[in-house]
Structure 1
Amino acid sequence: MSYQTTETIQRLWNQFLRDQLAAMPPQERQQYEQQFEDRFGELLKDAADGTGSQDGFLDLVGFGGKGAVPFENISYPYIQPDFDDSIVPSQLHAAAELYYIYQHERMKVFQVVQVLQRLFREGRMRIQRGPGARALYLLDKWKPLRYNQRDRMIAYRRAFNYGRVQAPVGAITNVNFHRQFVGFMVAVSQYFRDLLIGEVIRGGPLIEQRPFGSIGTVQRIGLDLRYALDRSTYGNILALTVETGHYLNEVLKLLDTPDIKKSFDANTKWDVIEMVSNRYLGGIGEPSQRAKMAESGRRILQFIADNDFKTALDPILFQSEMRPMGSHAEAWVAAYRMTPEGRGFSGVTPALRSVLGAQSAVV
């Protein structure tokens, strides 16, 4: 299809769309709006693919079979937008699990296990034949976790810019992760708060038009966050996450064994972590807040990894997809505000304005 013909189609498309939608009942228009938009994109793409982009370039420079071709007869160059799709899903899923592991690192779970191993070797813990004693013996014998604390700290620094360890020279560090992650959480929270206001104003939960919440804000921050994580989680991040994840799962089972809990007069594994942290590690590491941040943060990152944030997505469909994430975002923000680094959190709306670069209103 020539460039001139394509331009004609583009000019006439809006008129065609207006005429078709005007002839439909109002309740059916929304059903077909996105189908028309998708069909328009398919027509442009098929027209360009049919003529061949290489032939169009040769015609442009005058080397084609027809020699110099008038400009209006050159085929239309359709360029497929694929930047948002150029990510490695396995890296993003690994980042979600690594975030979950990081929060348990902040809860001092790995340090607690090291203390238990030392107490077991030194005979300062009255266990000998139970499942906890056997698990500690196997950890000492096989040392299944090859990635030590420094390796994990480097991974956290690379993927999330968390910690004080120096990142390896030449490695990409995701310096904006926390700002973007908090921004995504507050954007989702603000979206559903605005949506709730819209439901109250309109008098019911069934909304047949675009809600007050900004879909574009959520999508933009989500795409930026996904891109930055993809750039920084190459290398050993996937292997480290898989190995450390299995290890974390086993040590949490170890901490829940009856003989370990009995040694510290504990009812749950979290009591063991608290008692060992207070007694040997200088204090507890906010287990209640960190556990919720780990759960909700991982779920949000999994959602970001698997969502393409399509620009022309129907707002009602977007609302349905995002609804389970709303509670996770609110729970994460509530837990984050109770941690030392989150106590200066200014609130959902001010934080969102800061992430988007908006200036505060002058009173």
Structure 2
Amino acid sequence: MAYENYETITRLWQRFLREQLEQLPPEERKNLEGEFEKRFGELQKGASGDSSLGFADLIGFGAKGVLPFGELPYAHLVPDFDESVIPSQLHAAAELYFIYQHERMKAFQVADVLRQLFQLGRMRVQRGPGARALYILEKWKPLRYALRDRMIAYRRVFNYGSAPAPAGAVVNQGFHRQLVAFMAAMAQYFRDMTVGEVIRGSQDIDDRPFGNLASIQRLGTDLRFALDRASYGNILALTHETGHYLSTLLDLFDQPDIKKAFDANTKWDVIEVVSNRHLGGMAELSQRAKMAESGRRILQWIADQDFETTADPLVFRSEARPFGAHAEAWIAAYRMTAEGRAFPGVGSAMRSTLGLKTRKPSLALAS
């Protein structure tokens, strides 16, 4: 369709939309706004015509020769950047984050210590399921990706650790800053919504937003894009193999003869005792376990979200509510870790993310 016709349809649609919305009651207007927007996008796409020959028509190489601008097809550009990610890579990154937190909990180091103690006869296990599992691990050594490979993967995808990145590899430099900002945005959104629900008192106030949905959409899109760029190569294979191996190790720690050898009640007690005796001290088990659970769940949700700008706030609120709790849990655990003790709080983190100055307390409050 010609450019002039496209502009005419656009103006007429805007006039039609304004007239129709004015005649609708508020309840129906809210429900139909999204449908009108979707229909307008379909009309725009159809009105642009066949744009495959538009450039040839523009330079005069088309069947009709040189055409005036008013008769040229409209170039309908499709905004598809936010959808140009590979979900399998994002899911692999979510699993790799879970594995990383268990690496920080010394789960892999504890397994190596158990294998050494079993080989040297310094652990009183003999015929139980734990001894059998240790024998199988020692005989077959199923994990192909060693510590060096895992540390390189953590560095590439999350910029965690001090392992040197391979020359030419893409390193996700801003992952941690983006993850903390997204967690803060989710937490702030539902905190604001809770305050709004408390003070709600009339029909008009129901239409007011209780949280900054745009911040969540922007941060989530940036996080998805950065993870997609850095999770190529062997990340998917490494995550699958290491995930199965970690599951095997956690089952090993939970075997009755292994727990009895260390006077432990749970597998986490085994990790704690072995870490204290042989690895120079226990890691942050409780905090890392919660960060692994909630961080993986949040990253999985980000992988499956498209973060549409025109998303219905009510639908988004229902979908995101469980993940608001995960964000709060992640922040609470993160603040108890060594690197998270400098976390300034949800409000200050959000202001810093949005480029706003942090409010300084008054002298009366500071004293």
TM range (shorter): over 0.9
Name the CA distance, whole Å, in 1 between partners of 2:295 and 2:204. Answer: 29
Match of 2:280 in 1: 282
Match of 2:21 in 1: 21
Contact 1:59-1:69 within 8 A present in 2 as well? yes
Match of 2:315 in 1: 317
Contact 1:210-1:316 within 8 A present in 2 as well? no
Name the CA distance, whole Å, in 1 between partners of 2:10 and 2:208. Answer: 26
Taking a change above 3 Å as real, the CA distance of residues 254 and 191 of structure 1, as seen in their structure-2 partners, is same
Match of 2:238 in 1: 240
Match of 1:147 in 2: 145
Name the aligned partner's letter for residue 94 of structure 2.
A
Match of 2:39 in 1: 39
Q: 3-state DSSP class of the match of 1:341?
A: coil
Contact 2:200-2:206 within 8 A present in 1 as well? no
Matches within 5 A, 1:156-195: 156-195=154-193
Contact 1:210-1:315 within 8 A present in 2 as well? no
Name the CA distance, whole Å, in 2 between partners of 1:147 and 1:59. Answer: 56
Which segment is superposed worse, 313-322 or 172-181?
Answer: 313-322
Name the CA distance, whole Å, in 2 between partners of 1:148 and 1:84. Answer: 34
Name the CA distance, whole Å, in 2 between partners of 1:137 and 1:54. Answer: 65
Q: Give the TM-score normalised by the residue count of structure 2.
A: 0.96
Taking a change above 3 Å as real, the CA distance of residues 241 and 207 of structure 1, as seen in their structure-2 partners, is farther
- Following superposition, the deviation at residue 161 of structure 1 comes to 0.3
Q: Deviations over 1:63-91 (max 9, x none)?
A: 22222211111111101111111111110
Q: 3-state DSSP class of the match of 2:311?
A: coil
Name the CA distance, whole Å, in 2 between partners of 1:296 and 1:111. Answer: 23
Match of 1:99 among 79, 90, 97: 97
- Following superposition, the deviation at residue 207 of structure 1 comes to 7.2
Taking a change above 3 Å as real, the CA distance of residues 134 and 207 of structure 1, as seen in their structure-2 partners, is farther
Match of 1:269 among 260, 267, 270: 267
- Following superposition, the deviation at residue 360 of structure 1 comes to 2.5
Contact 1:108-1:285 within 8 A present in 2 as well? yes
- Following superposition, the deviation at residue 21 of structure 1 comes to 1.1
Name the CA distance, whole Å, in 2 between partners of 1:4 and 1:359. Answer: 47
Any unmatched runs of 5+ in structure 1? Answer: none
Contact 1:132-1:258 within 8 A present in 2 as well? yes
Taking a change above 3 Å as real, the CA distance of residues 19 and 345 of structure 1, as seen in their structure-2 partners, is same
- Following superposition, the deviation at residue 357 of structure 1 comes to 2.2
Q: 3-state DSSP class of the match of 1:340?
A: coil
Name the CA distance, whole Å, in 2 between partners of 1:63 and 1:263. Answer: 83
Q: 3-state DSSP class of the match of 2:281?
A: coil
Taking a change above 3 Å as real, the CA distance of residues 327 and 15 of structure 1, as seen in their structure-2 partners, is same
Contact 2:156-2:230 within 8 A present in 1 as well? yes
Name the CA distance, whole Å, in 2 between partners of 1:204 and 1:297. Answer: 37
Match of 1:65 in 2: 63
Match of 1:6 in 2: 6
Name the CA distance, whole Å, in 1 between partners of 2:209 and 2:96. Answer: 34
Q: Deviations over 1:301-328 (max 9, x none)?
A: 0000000001100111111111111000
- Following superposition, the deviation at residue 206 of structure 1 comes to 11
Q: 3-state DSSP class of the match of 1:332?
A: helix
Name the CA distance, whole Å, in 2 between partners of 1:258 and 1:203. Answer: 58
Contact 1:112-1:277 within 8 A present in 2 as well? yes
Match of 1:76 in 2: 74
Name the CA distance, whole Å, in 2 between partners of 1:151 and 1:346. Answer: 34
Name the CA distance, whole Å, in 1 between partners of 2:295 and 2:254. Answer: 24
- Following superposition, the deviation at residue 209 of structure 1 comes to 2.0
Q: Deviations over 1:284-309 (max 9, x none)?
A: 11110000000000000000000000
Q: 3-state DSSP class of the match of 1:235?
A: coil
Q: Give the TM-score normalised by the residue count of structure 1.
A: 0.97
Match of 2:299 among 275, 298, 301: 301
How many residues in Structure 1 have an aligned counterpart in Structure 2? Answer: 361
Contact 2:287-2:337 within 8 A present in 1 as well? yes
Match of 2:365 in 1: none
